[in-house]
């Protein structure tokens, strides 16, 4: 079953490891509704299915710049290069 994923929920620290960003950023994204999540008995949980849908969504250049601000420890030069590519995409086809 290609493309089929197992369901389930991730705890914030698991989502942090999955996305490679600090857990504090996960909480900020959840609280601002940028990352889809639910509170179950007062504890945040991230649906793995919804997380993967969120990752697959098209992101506008403005949203990408905003999300780039959440990348801690990433090489600023690489982030700048990526954002420049978004601002002036080249057609390689």
Select from 6, 8, 38, 24 the least CA-distant residue to 71: 24
- Residues 14-39: tens digit of each pLDDT: 999 988 889 999 999 999 998 889 99
CATH number assigned to the domain covering 1-57: 1.10.1660
- Residues 35-93: tens digit of each pLDDT: 889 998 899 999 888 888 888 777 677 777 777 766 666 677 777 777 777 666 555 54
Residue 49 confidence (pLDDT): 87
Residue 7 confidence (pLDDT): 55
Could you state, in order of their start, the residue ranges of all structural domains in the chain? 1-57, 59-88
Residue 53 confidence (pLDDT): 85
Locus of tokens 């954002």: 83
């Amino acid at each position: 079953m290609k493309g089929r994923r197992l369901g389930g929920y991730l705890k914030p620290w698991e989502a942090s490891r999955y996305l490679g960003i600090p857990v504090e950023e996960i909480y900020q994204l959840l609280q601002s509704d940028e990352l889809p999540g639910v509170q179950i008995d007062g504890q945040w949980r991230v649906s793995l299915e919804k997380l993967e849908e969120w990752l697959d969504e098209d992101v506008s250049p403005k949203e990408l710049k905003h999300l780039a601000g959440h990348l801690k420890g990433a090489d600023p030069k690489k982030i700048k290069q990526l954002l420049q590519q978004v601002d002036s995409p080249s057609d390689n086809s």
